Structure formats: C-alpha cells, structure tokens
Amino acid sequence: MSGAPILLVGFAVANQAVCAQLTERGHPVVATDDAADDQLRSQAAGLGIDLRERPAVDDWLALVADARAVVPTPGLPESHPALSAAMAAGTPVVSEFDLAQRWDSRPTLAVTGTNGKTTVTVLVAAMLEASGIEASVAGNTETPLVEAIRDPQSAAFVVEASSFRLGHSQCFRPSVGAWLNFAPDHLDVHASLDSYRRAKAALWRRADEHTTAVVNRDDPIVVSHTPGKGRLVTYGLSEGDFRVSGGALWAGSEKLADIAELRRSQPHELSNQLAAAAVAMAGGAHLQGVKTVMREWSGLPHRMMLVAEHGGVRYYDDSKATTPHAVCAAVRSAGPAVLIAGGRNKGLDLGPLAEVADGVRAVVAIGEAASEVERAFAGRCPAAPAESMDEAVRLAAERARFGDAVLLSPGCASFDWYGSYAERGDHFAQVVLQMIGGSP
C-alpha cells in the first residue's frame, strides 16, 4: 500500500493503532471521525495526521475516491455513507485483521460467535501459555491485532473475532478458526440478520488445506457453514471430537476433566471449555496444559458470577448477557429466577425471552427497553418496571422465594444508564451488597 492515502473511517482505539502502523510504514493516511473532540484531535496530531471532523454526506464521495483503501472502525453501521461511497467508487474496504496478517505471519487462532467469544479466547490463551507457548490476546479486546503484532515475543495470537471486523475482512485467514454459535445480535450495526450471519461466516470464507475449522455440532447454523477445505475438529455436549460423556469432558479417548471437579459447570460453560480445548490443542497446546487450565478456571467477571447468597436467594451478575440467546442460557442455568432485564435494545426482537418464561418467577424491566421486556413476558409471568438499579434489586428481592436466583441478565446493551456492561454489573453487585448488609 503506497501512493494514495488510506482512509480511516472513525478514529477510536482500533483505527488509532492502524494509523500508527501505517504511518510507521510510510503510508499516507487520512483520518475521519463523526464525533471528533479535543482528545481525538490531540491523538491525531501526535500521529502527525489531520483529522477530518464530521464529514457531510456529500464529502464522502470525494474522500473515498481519493483513497487507496478504506478501513472502517469496528462497529461502523453498514448504512454509513462511507461504505456506500466506497462501493460506488470501487474502493476496497479492508479490516485491521487484513492489515495485521499482511504484516505478520505468526499463527492466529480466531474465535467468533454471538456468545462466549471472550471466555473462549481467554481460555485458549491460558491453555497455550500452560503448554509453554507464549500467546497474546487481541482483536475485539483492549488490544487490536495490529497492535498485538508489535510484540516480538508472542508465538501466536488468540483473536476475538467480532462480526464488525470479520465482515470487512478481505483476506484474513486464521490458522485455526472457531465459530461457537449464532443468534440474532448487533442489528443496530448490520443491515439484516443475514448480513450478520455472512459476517460471521467470513471466518472460514478463505479456508484452505492449512486451515483448521473448529465447529460446534450443537448449532445447526454453524454446522451449515462448515468449510469444505482444511482440517475439521468438532465439539458438542453429546457428540464431537471434544464432547461430554459419562460426567466428564473428553478429547477423543482422552479425559480432560470430570465435571464434578470444575468450578464452572453450567451447560454453556462446558461448551465453552470444550471449544477452548479444541482450539488450543489445534494450535499446539498439550493435554496437561489444557487439563490444568480447565480445573483452575473460575470464569470472567459479569458472566453468571455469584455476587451473594442471602436468605436462601442467590444473586447473579450476568451483565455481559446482551442478547435474548444469552439470557435464555443464563435462566436455564440459574434455575427458578427473578429476572432483571432491559437496557438499550440493539435492534433485536426480545420476543424469544418468552422461551424461558416457565423458569422465571417474575421480571423486573429496566432501561429504555423496559416496555419491550414486559411485552415479551406478557401473560406468561408477572412483570414490573423499575426506574433505577436500586429499585430493580429491591423489587426482585421482594419477589424472590427461598431457593430462587435474582438474575441480572439484561439481554440489551448498557448505554442508556451506564458506560459499559461492566459498570452496570458492578453497580448491581454494589446495590445487592448494600441491601443485604455487605455480607453473603
């Protein structure tokens, strides 16, 4: 890439890392942002480039026409005028994954899926490290892949591959690619559910004889996209190369762990651990390293984490659950529950929440989507709105019975009341502990 500039659409963390790499390699860059501020201007100046602020719709045609390629920020809506201008001009759109793979040839182990990506990614990296393979976690994390490749010590990169990046990738081909599951999500970014599915499927679009595909046999959509080339490794709760059988997790004929000795043993967590073992071993991890990590794994924050147990009621923070699919998995795992759900809908149909109504004693609906949550459960179980997290926890505690769980599993984004799902989960935990006197 040389001559004409590379156009960066959006100038947040990922594209700032892209910009630094491009300028270091002598490529001219033009950066744009729809919501520029003094901090972004300062960061652009520090990289020696100008920042085009809030381009008008008519400006995009000229910006794209002058560019050699367009790099969209992850999460740029498919309806953005920069993307339609690129299509009209025939200017290629590429992702940071494409650039990173062009600049670095070390192995990449990529994980995608609607739910479980972060958990599996972190597990895989830990399993590689426990096997003596230095690995870096990158992608849909605090470290973009183009930044991670700066580390000369890493022997492999474990990449959390979101649809936002995969959908714009033209040549990204991971050494190992795992697709965990598929359910509606991110319809505030993708033009349709089919577009979201195609973005996920891009993980295996360029599979060849050197690629290993890790396929979840329990998800029919994932199975339907199994690539026709390369090595195939399967996993599932009952069938697959990696599977659950006889109260244990297995890799072929090798026992990985007895379920009774695992700290996290709900069905979706077993599936995540099987997926991680399959990816890690395809990437060179040894059996003992995988076993060690499985037995020590205690989970990530805000994913079905027990905050407290008080008066026979368990309080769980599952704030990371931002889709109905994730909420349903949580309710099935928790047992009888009073569910706190809602927030900012990501363009999804919340109707599927009703699938677990039989396991929900009552619902407390919060945030912008409170009325949608109430409608999903109408006629199936009692539902009431709350205007704050304090009120939501109080109402849920009043409705819970001995043996129940109070479950914060919102099924929506957090950005109406909070800056992140982590902030939402932390506030829930704080309110719970204040309510019960700070002790379980």
Please identify, among 296, 315, 349, the residue that sits at the C-terminal boundary of a domain. Answer: 296
Same domain membership, residue 190 and residue 137: yes
Kindly list the strands in the beta sheet with 254-258, ordered across the sheet, starting from the edge strand earlier in the chain: 135-139, 156-160, 108-112, 176-179, 212-216, 231-236, 242-245, 248-251, 254-258
**227 in the same domain as 163:** yes
Q: Which of 280, 298, 304 is nearest to 290 (CA)?
A: 280
- Each residue's pLDDT tens digit, 350-381: 999 999 999 999 999 999 999 999 999 999 99
Neighbours of 53 (CB within 10 A): 16
Structure tokens at 111: 């994980």
pLDDT score of 382 more than 90:
yes
Task: Answer with the one of 71, 93, 115 that is the final residue of a domain.
Answer: 93
Number of domains in the chain: 3
pLDDT tens for 132-149 read 999 999 999 889 999 999
Instruction: Kindly report, residue by residue over 195-237, the tens digit of the pLDDT.
Output: 999 999 999 999 999 999 999 999 999 999 999 999 999 999 9
- Mean pLDDT of the region 176-202: 97
Q: What is the pLDDT of residues 12-52, one digit of tens each?
A: 999 999 999 999 999 999 999 998 789 999 999 999 998 99
Considering the domain architecture, whether residues 252 and 156 belong to the same structural domain is answered as yes
Residue 440 confidence (pLDDT) above 70: no
> Residue 130 is encoded by which pair of tokens?
């426990």
Same structural domain, 207 and 141: yes
228-249 as b/e, with b when 16 or more CB fall inside 10 Å? Answer: eebeebbbbbeebbbbbeeeeb
- For CA atoms 245, 246, 251, 252, give the dihedral sign: negative
Query: Do 187 and 333 have their domain in common?
Result: no
pTM for this entry: 0.91
| E strand spans, 237-294 | 242-245, 248-251, 254-258
Ranges of beta strands (E only) in 190-334 are: 212-216, 231-236, 242-245, 248-251, 254-258, 305-310, 313-317
Phi, psi of 31, rounded to the nearest 5 degrees: -110, 145
Buried/exposed code over 112-135 (b: 16+ C-beta within 10 A; e: otherwise): bbbbbbbbbbbbbbbbbbbbebeb
Q: Could you tell me if 145 and 295 are in contact, meaning their C-beta atoms sit under 8 angstroms apart?
A: no
**Do residues 126 and 64 share a domain?**
no
Q: Is residue 440 part of a domain?
A: no
Inside any domain, residue 1: no
- pLDDT tens string 312-341: 999 999 999 999 999 999 999 998 999 999
Q: Are residues 232 and 116 in the same domain?
A: yes
- From residue 416, alpha-carbon distances to 366, 368, 409 in Å are 10, 7, 15
Identify the pLDDT of residue 50.
84
**Domain of 257, in residue numbers:** 97-296
Domain limit, last residue, from 231, 265, 296 = 296
- Across the range 84-99, mean pLDDT stands at 97
* Average pLDDT over every residue of 393-420: 98
- Per-residue pLDDT band at 439 (split at 50, 70, 90): low
CATH code of residue 412: 3.90.190.20
Task: Look at residue 1 and tell me whether its pLDDT is greater than 50.
Answer: no
3-state secondary structure of 395: helix
Contact 311, 402 (CB under 8 A): yes
Calculate the average pLDDT of the chain: 96
pLDDT at 395 over 90: yes
Distance CA 71, CA 50 (A): 16
Q: Same structural domain for residues 169 and 270?
A: yes
